[in-house]
Amino acid sequence: MLIELTPSGLYCSAGDFYIDPQAPVRRAIITHAHTDHAKPGSDAYLTSRSGKPLVQQRVGLRAKVESLEFGEEIEIRGVKVSLHPAGHILGSTQVRIEYHGEIWVVSGDYKLEPDATCETFEHVKCHTFITESTFAKPHYKWKAQTEIFNQINDWWQMNSLWGTTSLIGAYSLGKAQRVLAGLDPGIGPIMVYPTVEKFLPAYKAAGISFPEILPFNETTIAEIREKRPLIIAPPQFARVDAEKKFGAVASAFASGWMSKGGLHSKIHDRGFALSDHADWEGLLAAIKATEAENIFVMHGFTNTLVNHLRSIGYNAHVIGATQRVQPAAEHSLPE
């Protein structure tokens, strides 16, 4: 086993490094900057060049974070390591590991649909593929993002006509920026919550452009509240908080969990099923393209995917936590 699951996370003993460790370790390779993957306290981190500023924000400005360009190869104790785009959020990476001719790829979180706010997923051939399975149920099938963005912009325009401010909930890193990039600034003013705004410099440094946003402060809010802005904010900024500042508010949430009714149908007026994870067909397409004979499945509906893969001839196993139930709260699961 070139990579095994230990209490601290995925571990490559030949190279003596961890991938997305859940506890402090000596050397950590980080697939992306979501909090369930990038934990503080390790001695040294390695991630992609474009993901580095985001990972640095997560693990602390004083932490040692090194980076690689996508496709650049280094050797760690004789193990060849390279990073390849995962298409999940800016800088998100798959980790390719080669040792004595044997190749493993760890996917991290990924999606296949091109996204204006991150690098596009790269298919990497390997002998063993460790895949996520967040939405590994056959009924998860995403619509094209252009359709979702049209729905969001139409919803915003309609709210605006009715004299209502629009609040769209989205996880602060990744989803919020993707929603922002898809907005039509011709409809009205746009504001983003400070926890969203703090990540924008890293995106702009990577050459990603966004519609103009207004600063989220009391002065600006007083000036523009009659213009019915759209606000992008994480779940902790609820509709009741927005109503205190903006008056009448319509709220929505953007997440893959919004498909089939979603968790927030009782909380929000609308749900937009925009996910940064592969849907069922996407997972199967990614797995097939690796040409791997061994598949390890983690992070999600593991048993469903393993059982299906076995039925079509793969040597598939669950690695780590067993079948997950849908999370109790949207913000418990970064997308």
Q: Residue 195, exposed/middle/buried by CB under 10 A (0-12, 13-18, 19+)?
A: middle
Q: How far is the CB of 286 from Zn ion (least distance, A)?
A: 15
Q: Determine, following the binding rule CB under 5 A, whether residue 109 of this chain makes contact with Zn ion.
A: yes
Contacts with Zn ion by CB under 5 A: the residue count is 2
- Report the 3 state secondary structure along 28-53: EECCCCCCCCCCCCCCEEEEECCCHH
Give whichever of 89 and 191 is closer to Zn ion, judged by the CB atom: 89
Q: How far is the CB of 64 from Zn ion (least distance, A)?
A: 23
Element (H, E) at 201: helix 200-205
Among the listed ranges 28-36, 50-58, 143-151, 188-196, the one in contact with Zn ion (CB under 5 A) is 28-36
Give whichever of 109 and 279 is closer to Zn ion, judged by the CB atom: 109
Give whichever of 109 and 119 is closer to Zn ion, judged by the CB atom: 109
246-281: b (≥16 Cβ within 10 Å) or e: beebbbbbbbbbbbeebbbeeebbbbbbbbbbbbbe
Q: How far is the CB of 78 from Zn ion (least distance, A)?
A: 30
Among the listed ranges 102-110, 209-217, 250-258, 304-312, the one in contact with Zn ion (CB under 5 A) is 102-110
Q: How far is the CB of 83 from Zn ion (least distance, A)?
A: 15
DSSP string, 233-265: E-TTS-HHHHHHHHSSEEEEEESGGGGGG-TTT
Among the listed ranges 34-42, 133-141, 145-153, 178-186, the one in contact with Zn ion (CB under 5 A) is 34-42
Q: What are the beta bridge partners of residue 168?
A: 232, 252
Q: Determine, following the binding rule CB under 5 A, whether residue 96 of this chain makes contact with Zn ion.
A: no
Please select the residue that binds Zn ion; options are 21, 31, 34, 283, rule is CB under 5 A: 34
Cα 30 to Cα 18, 35, 92, 176, 325: the distances in Å are 9, 11, 9, 21, 25
Among the listed ranges 31-39, 119-127, 184-192, 325-333, the one in contact with Zn ion (CB under 5 A) is 31-39
Among the listed ranges 15-23, 60-68, 76-84, 106-114, the one in contact with Zn ion (CB under 5 A) is 106-114
Q: Determine, following the binding rule CB under 5 A, whether residue 197 of this chain makes contact with Zn ion.
A: no
Cα 130 to Cα 10, 274, 288, 296: the distances in Å are 10, 24, 13, 5
Give whichever of 93 and 164 is closer to Zn ion, judged by the CB atom: 93
| Interatomic CA distance for residues 19 and 45, integer angstroms | 10
Binding site for Zn ion (CB under 5 A): 34, 109
